[in-house]
Each structure stands twice: as C-alpha cells, then as structure tokens.
Amino acid sequence: MSERPAPGALSHIRVLDLSRVLAGPWASQTLGDLGAEVIKIERPEHGDDTRRWGPPFLKDREGEDTRDSAYYLCANRNKKSVAVDFTRAAGQALVREMARRCDVVIENFKVGSLAQYGLDHASLQAVNPRLVYCSITGFGQTGPYAERAGYDFLMQGMGGLMSITGRADGEEGAGPVKVGVALTDILTGLYASTAILAALQSRDLTGVGQHIDLALLDVQVACLANQGMNHLYGGSPRRMGNAHPNTVPYQDFQTQDGFMILAIGNDGQFGSFCRAVGRAEWADDDRFRTNADRIANRGLLIALMRDITVTRSTSDWIALFEQVGVPCGPINTIAEVFADPQVQARGTRIHMTHPVAGEIPLVASPVRLSQTPVQYRHAPPLLGQDTRDVLGELMGMAPEAIAELMQQGVVA
C-alpha cells in the first residue's frame, strides 16, 4: 500500500484569484504549489487574457491548437477555473459568497474599479473580516500615478532597470534594453506571495485580515538592489553591457568558439584565475591586486584577459577553471538549459495530465521543502473547467440552480 503524500504546507488555505496575466497569477500559482486551494475567477468566453497570447498554443491529442497559449500555462497550474460574469449582480453575489469562504483574495484591477461591483477590499472585508486582500497595480493605491494602468515593460523603463541594461554608450548597439522575460511582474508575484504569507501569519495572531497594496513600480525600484544603493551613495549607475558595476572581472568573454561567463567575486578567485591562465604576476600587479584596483583599471585588465580567452574553446576553459575554483559557465540557449544534466537532475521539467492535451510539459517550482514538498495536483485548467464542482461543493448549490445561472450567462 503506497503512502499518501503529506498535505501541502498551505493545504488549509483557500485563495480566490481575481487576477489575470502574470503578476497575480504567479503569486496564486506559488501559493497553489505550496498546497493552497486556488479558485481562479475568469470571464465567460474570454477568460484570462494570456490564454490567447500565442502562438505557441497548447495542442490537443490530435495535434490541433487549443485556445490556451503556452504563456497561460506558465502561471496557472494548481488552480480551479470558475467562469463568472461579475459585471452582473448575480455574478457579484456569487463572488462575494466565495470570498466569505476564502482566506485570501488576489486582484490586479485598476485602482477603484472593483468597488462598482462590491468586490473591493472594503466590501469584502465587511463580508469576511479575516480576509487577506492583495491588490496588485502598476503604481499602487496612492500617489499621482495611481489611476494609471501599469505594464511590466513600462515599469522596466520607469523603474530604472532599462537604464542599466544594454550595451554601454559609445559601443555598437548601445541603448536601453528590457529583460527578456517580464521580470517586474514575476518579482511582484513573488513579493505578493511573501506578503500574503506574512498577513496570514498576522491573522493567526490577531484574528483580523488586512489589505496588501503592491505596486509594480515599487517592486522594480526595490529590486534595483545594489544599483539603487550605488546611486544613493554617490555612484552613477549606467549601462555596462554584461559587466558588473562593483566587481571585476565579472562578465562575458569571447572564446575560440563562442562566449563564456567569468564571475570572479573576490581576490582569491582572481589569483586562481591568473595562475590557471599562466599570468600569475597579475595577482601581484598594483593595478589588479584588489577589486578596487581592478575596477580602477577595468578597461586594461579586460583587454588583456580577452587576448587570452579567445585562444581556447568554451568547454576547455570551463573544464580548466572548474578544477581551480574559478566560477565560470556557458551562455546557454533555452534548449541547452533543459538539456543540461544539472537541470535534468533537479527535475526542473515536469509533466502533468491535461484534460484535452493529455500529458503536457511544464516548468517545476524551484521550491524544495523536505516535509511538505510541492505537489502538482491540477494541470492549468480549461476555461470554466471547475465551475460546476466549485459552485456545488464549495457553495452548496443544487445542480438545477447552477444550470439556471448557466442558462442566464452568469456563469459558464
């Protein structure tokens, strides 16, 4: 007899997810991976905007495109989809009743827009004082930009990230560049899940929920990290390509057959590098002895190193540097990432059973918990896949009542 899996760390928590696109869904998927029951509320017929953000689209068992994009699949596993039109009074009443039975609400509508439906924080707190209500917006609930819509690309620009991403001024191809994934959205989703867990912990002590006000712009500014502090302490952050503003050498280098990364973070590693490439004298050179020296003479050192790195292949350099403890690695394509033996050994690619497509690949959660491991219970759902079950089991509605709502177009 096989052992039943341990319940997830959040298996006692129920989340009502009114969000769509990425930041909110990333937060709710994180909570779902940790065991929470997540009920995703979607518009009938249309659903989450990202369902149609393709190609590529998920293919069914016959190899035909479905209505769900790969983008949608990345942020919506471990959820139940309930299609409700809450622009109608009956739909609003349903969502309010669900909120009464939930621990968390996540929403990412424009500031104030849910109040007209009675689904804002004040309205739902009155229904359920223990509710943790997380609002994700572009600019937050206050301030001169609060009414504006916010998008990841805008935040990467407005929040300073693009000013330090891209080739340096004066180099070929210079100019601001966004990160290749919607990183501000992802980081906001992670901050949201952390804040929700903190609010739940507080609720356990006080018995009262609270409102979480998360803004994409706030998150992007916070995640400038060392570059934000460099500015506050008199530095001048700027685009530097793949170079690091605070440590040298820490960037890409051309090799005989491509490129590699050297991430040398201290003087000891630099000495090991120098000895490995036959330039032991560099470690004692007054121009390069300390990190501060290397930053002051960055251009000279990098030019000398590039003359050497082009003499061998990437794999030869990596084999050499790994032996002497010099941090290094290749610049992989996405295909090479999933073929990497370390990535495979960590189980980063998983498979789940989808009701239309059969077995589908997904990217695993990076969280590894020894006692309450992540469980992959539900593949990303079809639109409205769980409407009948949730209304029947959670709300206690009779099949006839559900059928009537469906006939009216309130749910689907």
The count of other CB atoms within 10 Å of the CB of residue 195 is 17
- Identity of residue 255: T
Q: How is residue 353 written in tokens?
A: 């059973």
Angstrom distance (rounded) from CA 407 to CA 44: 12
Decide if 185 is catalytic. yes
The count of other CB atoms within 10 Å of the CB of residue 244 is 16
Angstrom distance (rounded) from CA 296 to CA 167: 20
Alpha helices in 225-330 (DSSP H): 225-232, 267-276, 291-296, 298-309, 314-323
Contact 200, 132 (CB under 8 A): yes
Which member of 33, 48, 185, 213 is catalytic? 185
Contacts of 164 (CB under 8 A, 6+ apart): 224, 227, 237, 238, 239, 240, 245
Angstrom distance (rounded) from CA 214 to CA 316: 47
Residue 19: name the closest of 35, 38, 36, 1 by CA. Answer: 38
DSSP string, 343-377: HHHTT-EEEEEETTTEEEEEEPPS---SSS-----
Q: How is residue 327 written in tokens?
A: 């941090």
Residues with catalytic function: 185
